[in-house]
Structure 1
Amino acid sequence: MHDQATILHADLDSFYASVEQRDDPALRGRPVLVGMGVVLAASYEAKAFGVRTPMGVAQARHLCPQAIVVPARMSAFTTASKAVFAVFKDTTPIVEGISIDEAFLEVGGLLRIRGTPTEIARRLRAEVRERVGLPITVGVARTKFLAKVASAVGKPDGLLVVPPGQELAFLHPLPVERLWGVGPVTSGKLRERRINTVGHVARLGEATLVSLLGAHAGRHLHALAHNRDPRRVRVGVRRGSIGSQCALGRRERPFEEVEATLAALVDRVTRRMRSGHRAGRTVTLRFRFGDFTRATRSRSMWTATMQTATILRTARELLAENRAMIAERGLTLIGVAVSNLDGDGNVQLELPFEALHDEDKLDDALDAVRDRFGSSAVKRAASLGHDLSPSVPILSD
């Protein structure tokens, strides 16, 4: 752990909704929902009525009838994100991006040239507002975990510094849900036993938490409750997985349409894999259902690959195995990710070589056309008619 609070967690406020309000003055100060079938992001004016992500737009409009619903504009969000990250990199060379709208920054070596971490954070917020026109909250602490908690507590449009020596006094009164990894299931287990705050968790022994939650989760939460997080801010970290997802809305869709959407997602993911020279072994499907529950299904292949056809075949098998569950519960979002990535893009060939070579040639040909004429210049027949423009992350700030 640092002796000083030098880690910044910078997190844009209701990013997608803030971009819409920035670009359309008529939306400013009004409740805005981004997403047509499912709420991908909500402005703070909408959140005041109880709107949360992910939530069906119909339910959100019931809670907030005056809400204005706008479609997701991924190109605008990507442009805004790049502009914000340019401010991050002008602030410090040590930037670890977490998602499209948040990053960790290490500013410990900048005291003589940029000032204290608090001064740097204050200036960072002003520059993002001035150069990009968006509100951002910054948390400052000695650990990455606590800096992220501080930014969450400091929202919206705030700056919260946790001074060294006062970390546990700040952390322990917070609800258990502030601990990383505490979702609805874990929260339910803890609250059933009247373990309601981080301080309650901290007072339990590690062995008790392990017996209650399992070895990994128990040790993990015990460490966080005592603010033990040795991770440093790292630059140039390669992704552990490459994925994409698509919000489907709440209308019932034929299974064939879900298959076509999956094919388009796999096409997108494998193109990114080939662009980054990353082959992968494990295919994971993510589902979100009409009752807002979620499920994941994974399968590992014998060898790493970046071939569209091979990965799509595995993804389709997983989808088919869960067809009954999808029909029963209604699918509102599907995502696919490939993990266990090989950093050098090395692929172990299998027999028959000729068939694999033909698939590689098809992938190469499609990639070349898209590189020259744009990503929408050609589509695989399996995904025709299925626009993936809603394929954006669900934001919950």
Structure 2
Amino acid sequence: MGRGDGSGRIVSPPGADDTDTGILHVDMDAFYAAVEVLDDPSLRGLPLIIGAPDGRSVVSSASYEARRFGVRAAMPVGQALRLCPHAKIVPPNFPRYQEISANVMEIFESITPLVEPLSIDEAFLDVRGVRRLWGSPGEIAQLIRRRVQSEVGITCSVGVASTKHVAKMASTLSKPDGLLIIPGAATQRFLDTRPVRAMWGVGPKAAEALESRGIRTIADVRLTAPDVLERAVGAASAVRLQALARGEDAREVETTRVEKSIGHEETFDHDVDDREFLRSELLRLADRVATRLRRAGWEAGAVAIKVRFADFTTVTRSQTLSEPTSVGQRMGEHAQGLLEHVHRRDPVRLIGVRAERLRESGGVSALWDDDAEWRRIEGALDDARARFGARMITRARHVGTGEGRGAPQHPRAHGLD
């Protein structure tokens, strides 16, 4: 399969057969780096690392020139610079990326109303109903690539297939700046030769579990006895993977998506071993998450924390709530309780809080509201922040902690997933 650095790229020839297709997966090429080059053409051709300039931050993205040295997203910047010492570090500009993303999505929506954004830089499109307007799926894919290049100034790669799973695999193989079409009749032949790691949703751990049992290709997944597959990845995943290995994927392009989680996390300038400070940080992060929940009209049915230690080992803990909530105090208390179940006491590099199992506010209420007083207080705080600014209103316990005791200099807010 194609790699993150663009090697192993496979593309379709002009006029390739697109019979029995209609699902497109469009993915921008090294999106953050491409936007930086768009705004500063002198960066073109250079190995770029998008990230904070301090060595403790992580790589948000990298140009293909840097990827060829082994630089990858989520890698510590210090490690990336050891792999590619001559790389240029460019601080991320997320508002600009959002702006360019909106321009790209407008192009998609001008072609078909059936657009499902997966992230800031990729989306599924169902073009089966707009053939009379724009041509065959392969022709529409070419049109999209031309328009993104001419109207926005960056490149994208497109996979065209009969299902979402195969379309996404195809776009990955065609990167960068490519188009790969898998006609319906060729789906099984295309899948069978691909490695299990190419399957959408198969992460490193699942891949290792499969490969340790000699299940190395998608054909192996398809032909393996169900009970063997179940022992490797569990019953539910085994059923799903074998269906995908047969080319079966009934998922439609969803034009409206329910947010799965909202979270915030912080990377500290210095590793922190002060447990009380970590507890305070969890409460502060829970307040920020809760504010966003209330603003979006959601409640959380579960709370999760993430703790990354100085050696980059990361652990997560989660807990289902007895009643959904958007109250920061209650979420913070649960997050602090989860921290007590993390028994390692060595220094912490990053900590985060995430609201999960979201539902719309105003659902079935409990007979007795234990959060009524905190709900009133936090509602008043929302009003105050709206008047005076979010940074002006905080808990008294957080005053004076923003620039010391290992507090983060470069906070990272993770958005709706």
| Map of 1:338 onto structure 2 | 355
Distance of aligned partners of 1:154 and 1:220 in 2 relative to their CA distance in 1, 3 Å threshold: same
Q: Quick one: which of 265, 271, 291 aligns to 1:245?
A: 265
- Determine if contact 1:303/1:347 at 8 Å carries over to the other structure: no
1:31 aligns with 2:39: no
Q: Could you tell me how far apart the structure 2 residues matched to 1:375 and 1:217 are?
A: 43
Task: Provide Cα deviations, 1:187-240, integer angstroms capped at 9, x if missing partner.
Answer: 222222332221222221223211332212211221121121111011122123
Q: CA deviation at 1:292?
A: 4.5
Q: Could you tell me how far apart the structure 1 residues matched to 2:22 and 2:96 are?
A: 32
Aligned AA (1:391): A
Q: Quick one: which of 96, 107, 112 aligns to 1:76?
A: 96
Aligned AA (1:15): F
Please give the secondary structure, in 1, of the residue aligned with 2:79. Answer: helix
| Map of 2:27 onto structure 1 | 11
| Map of 1:228 onto structure 2 | 248
Aligned AA (2:330): T
Task: Provide Cα deviations, 1:222-276, integer angstroms capped at 9, x if missing partner.
Answer: 1121121111011122123222334447x42344554454344323321221122
Q: How many residues align?
A: 387
Distance of aligned partners of 1:224 and 1:245 in 2 relative to their CA distance in 1, 3 Å threshold: farther
Gaps of 5+ in 2: 1-17, 403-407
Q: Could you tell me how far apart the structure 2 residues matched to 1:382 and 1:345 are?
A: 31
Please give the secondary structure, in 2, of the residue aligned with 1:229. Answer: coil
Q: Quick one: which of 200, 203, 226 aligns to 2:220?
A: 200
| Map of 1:363 onto structure 2 | 378
| Map of 1:45 onto structure 2 | 65
Task: Provide Cα deviations, 1:165-188, integer angstroms capped at 9, x if missing partner.
Answer: 111221221121112332222222
Q: Could you tell me how far apart the structure 1 residues matched to 2:290 and 2:119 are?
A: 20
| Map of 2:323 onto structure 1 | 303
Q: Could you tell me how far apart the structure 2 residues matched to 1:77 and 1:12 are?
A: 11
Q: Could you tell me how far apart the structure 2 residues matched to 1:316 and 1:369 are?
A: 26
Pairing of 1:278-293 with structure 2 (within 5 A): 278-293=298-313
Aligned AA (1:252): D
Q: Could you tell me how far apart the structure 2 residues matched to 1:306 and 1:144 are?
A: 34
Distance of aligned partners of 1:6 and 1:380 in 2 relative to their CA distance in 1, 3 Å threshold: farther
Q: Could you tell me how far apart the structure 2 residues matched to 1:167 and 1:176 are?
A: 15
Q: Could you tell me how far apart the structure 1 residues matched to 2:368 and 2:121 are?
A: 44
Aligned AA (2:376): K
Q: Could you tell me how far apart the structure 2 residues matched to 1:231 and 1:352 are?
A: 39
76-85 or 384-393: bigger deviation: 384-393
Q: Which gives a bigger RCO, structure 1 or 2 (Cα 8 Å, sep 6+)?
A: 1
- Determine if contact 1:88/1:95 at 8 Å carries over to the other structure: yes
Q: CA deviation at 1:283?
A: 0.5
Q: CA deviation at 1:319?
A: 2.2
Pairing of 1:157-236 with structure 2 (within 5 A): 157-236=177-256
- Determine if contact 1:38/1:248 at 8 Å carries over to the other structure: no
Q: Could you tell me how far apart the structure 1 residues matched to 2:397 and 2:182 are?
A: 52
Q: Quick one: which of 371, 393, 404 aligns to 1:378?
A: 393
With the length of structure 1 as denominator, give the TM-score of the two structures: 0.88
Please give the secondary structure, in 2, of the residue aligned with 1:297. Answer: strand
Please give the secondary structure, in 1, of the residue aligned with 2:297. Answer: coil
Q: Could you tell me how far apart the structure 2 residues matched to 1:20 and 1:262 are?
A: 34
CA-atom RMSD in angstroms: 2.6
- How many percent identity over aligned positions? 38
- Determine if contact 2:168/2:200 at 8 Å carries over to the other structure: no
Task: Provide Cα deviations, 1:102-123, integer angstroms capped at 9, x if missing partner.
Answer: 1111111001112111121112
Aligned AA (2:202): V
Distance of aligned partners of 1:81 and 1:207 in 2 relative to their CA distance in 1, 3 Å threshold: same
With the length of structure 2 as denominator, give the TM-score of the two structures: 0.84
Q: Could you tell me how far apart the structure 1 residues matched to 2:35 and 2:190 are?
A: 32
